[in-house]
Amino acid sequence: MRDYRKFYIGGRWVEPQLANTVEVINPATEKSAGVISLGTQADVDAAVAAARAAFPAYSSTTREERIDLLKAIASEYQRRIGDVAAAISEEMGAPAWLAKGPQAALGAGHLKTAIKILEHFAFEEQKGTTLIAKEPIGVCALITPWNWPINQIACKVVPALAVGCTMVLKPSEIAPFSAQIWTEILDAAGVPAGVFNLLNGDGPTVGAALSRHPDVDLISFTGSTRAGIEVAREAAATVKRVHQELGGKSPNIILPDANLEEAVTRGVRAVMNNSGQTCTAPTRMLVPVALSERVKAIARTAAEAISVGAPDREVTIGPVVSQAQWSKIQSLIQVGIDEGATLVSGGSGRPDDLETGYYVKPTIFADVDPGMTIAREEIFGPVLAIIPYEDEADAIRIANDTPYGLAGYVQSGSIDNARRVMRQIRAGQIHINGSPPDLNAPFGGYKMSGNGREWGEFAFHEFLETKAVIGFEPAP
């Protein structure tokens, strides 16, 4: 049982201002795995004050000093990576291979990438007689989700540290264990007091307080579009910068010349990965109407090969994160059935051999009309909607007929065809033929999927202000 009731403020572990605790539930067992405190406005004020006090000194550190700090964090992270993976597996039910692999490894990846970028990043540029200077924006409030916990913490905290910002992190109260380990890592690595602060709490209290706080210069939020709208509303009165990475309903266009077996199987696996709890998951598979029956058969086989079970077993996917999430997914599966989509695989309820835990059957619907609920709402579970299209223009129209624009996928036997279609998809990141993630590529969305970009050099710019010094050089 983990006991994480203290907050990390000003370089020390401190008691919360008010004793208000909540249990963290292990989604694989439905039992308590630990306890955390929920913060208040007073805790937010203390954490922001610590970050504000630390900003003048930390923002004046040299590039070399910050590189050394990131290297120390990376070394300590590597030493504790097993603890990080264990925390992720316990808090969100990720199978061991996923927790130890992609989940924990992304933290190390973002550190390595940022160190390399920082070595050569241009903080100043001369434009004639004017100097363009990039300066740290100030105190940053970072609100992160539960689905890829360390990834989202690292891709905010690391670039903020790299450019000289100070910060307050509020991780998800549903999956806060890995954030605790992350904080212990930063403390051991020697992050100066007040530069990084950790508060646990819920969105309506701590999240809202951070969003509207007058001494917070930037808020970076990852989560649902609904919650992102509330963050923006709270932040509006202080005109702070708001960076959001929100929901998605990403299209996966399989063109007629694609290797159908390979493309469909890969698409099914991509949706089911992390129990479907990935905002960029290709949850709308668009296929030529003439190939629909073949696609159904391939998809059914691919879904049946996905094993579901406890994190300590050799399974493909574990549970979803909570009872609330499980119930939402179940209701949307039933809506898909009620609205007349063809159930190819899976369906309502838990897998037959799993009575305890928030497990969902890998579910595939076919013959889905673009107007159906399951084609429009972000389900955030292992549920795929297969939508037939008439021709390429129809596929592109369906792909863009969504309020979201986070990611898109194109499968084709011709790279030229894929590139042509890719240019017409309104989304922030496009993957061609199963291309893996690139930590240097900008990550973020169009439309209601958010604004701003994370990952790589593009993340640095989110945490910087631009100053123009006119007459820095005398006129010739």
The model's pLDDT over 297-347, given as tens digits with 9 standing for 90+, comes to 999 999 999 999 999 999 999 999 999 999 999 999 999 999 999 999 999
Known catalytic residues are: 245, 279
Token reading at 345: 């695989």
For 211-222, how does the pLDDT look when each residue is reduced to its tens digit (9 = 90+)?
A: 999 999 999 999
Beta bridge partners of 133: 124, 467
Percentage of the chain modeled with pLDDT above 70: 100
Q: In whole angstroms, what is the distance from residue 244 CA to residue 235 CA?
A: 12
Q: Assess whether pLDDT exceeds 90 at residue 475.
A: no
For 432-465, how does the pLDDT look when each residue is reduced to its tens digit (9 = 90+)?
A: 999 999 999 999 999 999 999 999 999 999 999 9
For the chain, residues classed under CATH 3.40.605.10 are 2-246+449-469
Q: In whole angstroms, what is the distance from residue 155 CA to residue 438 CA?
A: 13
What was the pLDDT predicted at 99? Answer: 97
What was the pLDDT predicted at 26? Answer: 98
For 3-18, how does the pLDDT look when each residue is reduced to its tens digit (9 = 90+)?
A: 999 999 999 999 999 9
For 115-144, how does the pLDDT look when each residue is reduced to its tens digit (9 = 90+)?
A: 999 999 999 999 999 999 999 999 999 999
Question: Where residue 180 falls among pLDDT bands split at 50, 70, 90?
Answer: very high
Helix pair 104-118, 149-163: axis angle to 10 deg: 20
**Topology (CATH) of 2-246+449-469:** Aldehyde Dehydrogenase; Chain A, domain 1 (3.40.605)
Percentage of the chain modeled with pLDDT above 90: 99
pTM of the shown model: 0.96
**Topology (CATH) of 251-438:** Aldehyde Dehydrogenase; Chain A, domain 2 (3.40.309)
Tell me what the mean pLDDT of segment 45-49 comes to.
Answer: 98
CA torsion angle 21 154 403 458 (round to 10): 150
The answer to whether 360 and 320 are in contact (CB under 8 A) is yes
Question: Where residue 476 falls among pLDDT bands split at 50, 70, 90?
Answer: confident
For 234-263, how does the pLDDT look when each residue is reduced to its tens digit (9 = 90+)?
A: 999 999 999 999 999 999 999 999 999 999
For 307-316, how does the pLDDT look when each residue is reduced to its tens digit (9 = 90+)?
A: 999 999 999 9
The answer to whether 131 and 463 are in contact (CB under 8 A) is no
Tell me what the mean pLDDT of segment 38-59 comes to.
Answer: 98
Q: In whole angstroms, what is the distance from residue 135 CA to residue 123 CA?
A: 7
For the chain, residues classed under CATH 3.40.309.10 are 251-438
Q: Assess whether pLDDT exceeds 90 at residue 474.
A: no
Question: Where residue 54 falls among pLDDT bands split at 50, 70, 90?
Answer: very high
The answer to whether 432 and 410 are in contact (CB under 8 A) is yes
Strands lying side by side in the sheet with 241-245: 12-14, 7-9, 196-198, 166-170, 139-143, 218-222, 241-245, 450-451
How far is C-alpha 469 from the chain's CA centre? 36
Mean residue pLDDT across the chain = 97
